[in-house]
Structure formats: C-alpha cells, structure tokens
C-alpha cells in the first residue's frame, strides 16, 4: 500500500483526490498508465471496504518482490490523516520516498523552513521492526539533509525509545486518540517548526505530549498557580520526560503513597482499571503514555478525597 503513484511521469496522491479525480485514476489504471514509486510496478487504485481509505496497491505477485515495507489499513489511515492535515497547513507533501535506501512515509517542506522534515509511522510489531532497526534508520536519516525525523509509535512501543528518537505515541485500539489528540499534537509541533523554535518543539515532544487537547500554545499563556497534587515536586521529574519503566513505576508508587491513605495506595496501584486495561502500575510499566494517564487518574482520585499537599 502507498499513498503515492506515478501518472505519466508525475506524482499523484490518494489523500487529496476528489471522487472525480479518483475515477479518472481508475481509468488510467485500466490503460496501464499508473506505476508505483517503490518498484515501478503497476499501481492499483483501491479503497478499504470499511474505513474508505484510498491507496495504491501492488498488482498480483508484485508485492512479493518489492523492497518497500509492508503496510496495512491503520498505516494508510495515519499517513492519509497526517498528510491531509499538513497539506492544509501549507506544507508540501511527498509520501513513500526512498532516502538513503530507507523507505520514508512522509517528507514535507514549508516555504519558511530551510530543510525538509520526515515522518515515519510505525505500525509493524517489534518482531518485524525491532528497536535496533528503527534506531539504525533514524541514525542514517539524521545524517542526510533532513531537518528532523518524527516517529509515530504505538503506545506499547513508545517507552522503549525514551529520548533516543523524536517520537509521539498513538493507541491502535482507540481511534479518538489516534486521529484526535495525536493530530492536534502534530499540528502544534509543525506550527512551531514553521516558527523555527527548535527549543519549543523539543519541549513539546517530551513534555506537552502528556497534556490534553487544546492546552498547549506556542506562546506563553497565563497560567493559574499550581496547587494540590500538581504542586508535588514528584509530579514531574524535571527532565521533560516520563522516564524509563523503572523510573515511572517508582514515581507512581511514591505519588500514590503520598496522596492516598496507606491502605488504599497498594489497592489502587495493583487494582484493575478499565480505562487503562491493566492496573495503573502495570500500565505505567508498559508505556510512558499509560503512565501519564495513570498519573492523571491518581490526581482525580486524590482530588475526590480533598487532600492537601503533604508536609
């Protein structure tokens, strides 16, 4: 699957095709005028029967010899959603690009930026795309003329790359998160990139990702005084990161011990939570994004008890 095909030597993109243009491209396929950018095999215009996502597919047997990474519906959904959003923001989009023999999902450019930005979207399991492969690719791409490489990672894998690459988490089983909060965060990230505020972009990746939609601003908004559990110095680690699995779980234990009664803390940490689909402690160990949500749930639990900052 790809979002890009070649028509008479020019790139075309499934994500911004109207119904009429899509029909024209189907006709061009029947005339053998559509080819794929990855291997120059014939491109087949297709639509997913459930999501309606449009994409170009390999013909029979061609995918078995193509070196482009195998992708599925979720991958094309994400590529399409991000491409449309950035296109609306004025970025020039190119998808399915070979860079130093690495298959890059999106390369985007803006007239106010000197260098392009790459976006890699991971949907494959670790068995097919292990951590070392991703780190090696990121290192090789960093040596090119790309200004930066942003990775979208499944929340279950996000914690393994803490501070090693620029990454944002998404949830495969929660489309509201995948296409809502994630889209909003990416929009803010690229608005900052246009303003050439590298410091803000880095801060946002490792700190503002934990904020709910609509609370982050590229400026410096007025903020009310921090009180209650958020005034606890343990609430954030001061490094702009949720930390490693061990650091996250130890911090959550300390916070629960401070803000819940002793008899309640262990029960809360180890008890099943429907939203997290795990215990808070277990979910926090699995991923940084789950830790952030567990921390917020702890705050809500403490607020319900109307507790004050411990001495």
What confidence score (pLDDT) does residue 182 get?
Answer: 63
Looking at the structure, do residues 162 and 49 belong to the same domain, yes or no?
no
Q: At what angle do helices 182-194 and 198-206 cross, to 10 degrees?
A: 160
Q: What is the CA radius of gyration of the chain?
A: 22
Looking at the structure, do residues 80 and 191 belong to the same domain, yes or no?
yes
Q: Please calculate the CA angle 245-251-255 and round it to the nearest 5 degrees.
A: 145
pLDDT along the chain (311 residues), means of 10: 84 86 92 84 82 78 60 78 83 88 89 84 87 93 90 84 81 55 68 59 49 36 46 51 74 86 85 91 85 85 56 33
Residue 146, domain member (yes or no): yes
Residue 310, domain member (yes or no): no
51: left (phi over 0), alpha (psi -120 to 50) or beta: alpha
Residue 220, domain member (yes or no): no
- Of the three residues 167, 184, 210, the one that is the final residue of a domain is 210
Looking up tokens 């979720």 gives 74
Beta strands (DSSP E) in the chain are 4-7, 10-13, 34-35, 43-47, 54-58, 92-99, 102-109, 117-121, 148-154, 166-170
Split into its structural domains, the chain has a count of 3
What confidence score (pLDDT) does residue 232 get?
Answer: 61
Looking at the structure, do residues 42 and 81 belong to the same domain, yes or no?
no
What confidence score (pLDDT) does residue 47 get?
Answer: 87
Beta strands (DSSP E) in 14-91 are 34-35, 43-47, 54-58
- Of the three residues 27, 44, 65, the one that is the final residue of a domain is 65
Looking at the structure, do residues 156 and 123 belong to the same domain, yes or no?
yes
Under 8 Å between Cβ of 167 and 205: yes
What confidence score (pLDDT) does residue 27 get?
Answer: 93
Residue 217, domain member (yes or no): no
Residue 114, domain member (yes or no): yes
What is the domain extent for residue 166?
73-210
State the Cα–Cα distance between residues 71 and 251, nearest whole angstrom.
37
CATH number at residue 129: 3.40.1350
- Of the three residues 183, 210, 237, the one that is the final residue of a domain is 210
Residue 215, domain member (yes or no): no
Largest CA distance in the chain: 76
Looking at the structure, do residues 42 and 113 belong to the same domain, yes or no?
no
Looking at the structure, do residues 87 and 200 belong to the same domain, yes or no?
yes
What confidence score (pLDDT) does residue 311 get?
Answer: 33
Under 8 Å between Cβ of 107 and 116: yes
Looking at the structure, do residues 90 and 198 belong to the same domain, yes or no?
yes
Looking at the structure, do residues 242 and 126 belong to the same domain, yes or no?
no
């Amino acid at each position: 699957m790809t979002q890009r095909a070649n028509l008479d030597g020019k790139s075309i993109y499934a994500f911004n095709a109207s119904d009429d243009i899509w029909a024209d491209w189907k006709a061009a396929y029947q005339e053998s005028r559509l080819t794929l950018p990855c291997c120059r095999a014939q491109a087949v215009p297709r639509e997913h029967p459930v999501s309606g996502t449009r994409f170009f597919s390999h013909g029979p047997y061609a995918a078995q010899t193509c070196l482009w990474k195998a992708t599925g519906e979720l991958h094309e959904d994400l590529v399409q959603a991000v491409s449309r959003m950035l296109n609306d923001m004025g970025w020039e989009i190119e998808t399915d690009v070979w860079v130093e023999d690495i298959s890059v999902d999106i390369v985007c450019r803006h007239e106010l930026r000197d260098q392009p930005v790459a976006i890699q979207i991971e949907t494959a399991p670790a068995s097919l795309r292990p951590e070392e492969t991703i780190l090696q690719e990121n290192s090789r791409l960093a040596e090119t003329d790309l200004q930066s490489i942003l990775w979208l990672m499944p929340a279950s894998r996000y914690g393994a790359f803490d501070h090693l690459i620029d990454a944002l988490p998404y949830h495969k089983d929660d489309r509201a998160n995948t296409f809502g909060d994630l889209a909003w965060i990416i929009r803010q990230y690229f608005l900052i990139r246009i303003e050439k505020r590298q410091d803000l972009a880095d801060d946002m990746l490792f700190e503002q990702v934990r904020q709910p939609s609509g609370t982050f601003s590229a400026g410096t908004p007025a903020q009310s005084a921090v009180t209650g559990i958020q005034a606890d110095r343990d609430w954030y680690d001061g490094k702009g990161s949720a930390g490693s699995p061990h650091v996250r779980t130890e911090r959550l234990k300390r916070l629960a011990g401070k803000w819940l009664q002793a008899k309640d803390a262990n029960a809360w940490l180890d008890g099943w939570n429907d939203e997290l689909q795990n215990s808070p402690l277990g979910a926090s160990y699995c991923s940084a994004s789950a830790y952030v949500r567990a921390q917020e749930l702890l705050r809500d639990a403490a607020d319900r008890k109307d507790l004050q900052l411990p001495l």
